[in-house]
Amino acid sequence: MDAFAQTFARPPRGLALPLIVSAFLCWTTGTLAQDAVKPTPAPAPAGAVKPVPPPPIPFAPRPGKPNPDLPVFQKIGPGLFSLGDIQISKRARSVSLPVVVNMNKGMLEYLLVRTSGKTHESLFRTAIDPTQLQMAMLLLGVEGTDRPLSHQGDRAAPKGNPVDITVHYLKNGRMVPLKPEHWITRKVEDKMANSEPLDWVFTGSIFSNGKFMAQAQGSIIALYHDPVAMFDNASPGGESDRVWFVKEGALPPIGTPITLTITVKN
C-alpha cells in the first residue's frame, strides 16, 4: 500500500486539512504540476450583479455511467462546497449526494451501493465515486474507525463517528424529508414490523491488497454489518442478513431521484 492509501484509509487524528486535500489531489491526478492552470477571472465592473450559487438540493442524478473526468472541488456558496456530484456543508457538517430508488420489494443488506455494487440487495443505488465520498467525510473532520469489524455479519457492534441519515424526494411538487427507515421493515420473531430509528456510524472503508474496498465492491451504507462499507448499522439486528426488508408499497417508483444527506452528529 502506498503512503497516500494509508493516509486516505485511516489518516492520523489531527491531520491538517491541507495535507489531506493535497494528498487527494496528488493521488487523483498523478502530479499537481500537470494540472491546467485556470486564468484568474477579471474583476466584475462596479455595480455588476453577482451570479446566484446553485441551491444545495435537490440533485439530478447524471444518466448513464459516472463522469470519467476528475472531480472538481469548488466553493458554491457560503460554507458550501462541491466535490464531483457530492455537496459538502461546512456549517451543517453534512454531505448530500444523488441516489435513486433501487428496490421496491425483497430482502435488504444495504441501504446504499454504487451502481456497480450489490444492487440486488440495496434500497438505493448511486453513480458517485466512493473515494470522493470518503474524501468529503475527511474534509468534515471525521476519520472513521481504527477497529474495523473482522468480517461481514460480525456480531460485534461497528465503531465509528455517529451520523444521521435523511432522504429528500419530490412528491406532489414539493420536497419531502424522511428517514430511510420509513421505507424499511424488520422481521422480529417471524413477524414483520416497521423499522425503528437506526443508529448509523461512519466507519470508513478498508484497504486490501492495495485496493480501496468500497470503491472495488461498491458497498457504501450497510444494514447488515460489512467492514467494506463506509457506513454501518450500529443498531440491534445489524449482525443478521435475514431481518431487513423493503416496506412494500411505501416507496416511490424504482428510478425516482432521491437526495441522501449524511450529517455528522458530533
CA proximity to 220, closest of 193, 190, 168, 260: 260
Residues in the chain: 266
Per-residue pLDDT, 70: 58
Per-residue pLDDT, 40: 44
Where are the strands (E) in 44-156, listed by range?
73-77, 80-83, 86-89, 94-101, 110-114, 122-126
Range of the domain at 124: 73-264
Cα separation of 248 and 145, whole Å?
Answer: 34
Q: For the segment 172-190, what is each residue's pLDDT rounded down to a tens digit?
A: 899 999 999 999 999 988 8
Per-residue pLDDT, 265: 94
Cα separation of 130 and 22, whole Å?
Answer: 18
Output the CA–CA distances (angstroms, integers) from residue 259 to 99, 142, 175, 191, 226, in the order listed.
6, 21, 10, 31, 23
Asked, for residue 32, whether it belongs to a domain, the answer is: no
Pairing relationship of beta strands 174-178 and 231-233 according to DSSP bridges: unpaired
CA proximity to 56, closest of 106, 97, 105, 24: 97
CA 142 to chain centre: 13
Output the CA–CA distances (angstroms, integers) from residue 188 to 12, 195, 208, in the order listed.
41, 10, 35
Per-residue pLDDT, 71: 67
Mean pLDDT of 14-33: 41
Asked, for residue 178, whether it belongs to a domain, the answer is: yes
| DSSP character at residue 258 | E
Q: For the segment 112-149, what is each residue's pLDDT rounded down to a tens digit?
A: 999 999 999 999 999 999 999 999 999 999 988 989 99
Quickly tell me which residue has 466512493 as its cell.
130
Asked, for residue 2, whether it belongs to a domain, the answer is: no
**Local structure of 191: helix, strand or coil:** strand
Write down the pTM of the prediction. 0.76
Q: For the segment 179-230, what is each residue's pLDDT rounded down to a tens digit?
A: 999 999 999 888 899 999 999 999 999 998 889 999 999 999 999 999 999 9
Asked, for residue 153, whether it belongs to a domain, the answer is: yes
Asked, for residue 134, whether it belongs to a domain, the answer is: yes
Check pLDDT > 90 for residue 14: no
Asked, for residue 63, whether it belongs to a domain, the answer is: no
Work out the percent of the chain whose per-residue pLDDT is above 90: 65
How many structural domains does the chain have? 1
Per-residue pLDDT, 197: 94
Per-residue pLDDT, 62: 44
Q: Is 130 left (phi over 0), alpha (psi -120 to 50) or beta?
A: alpha
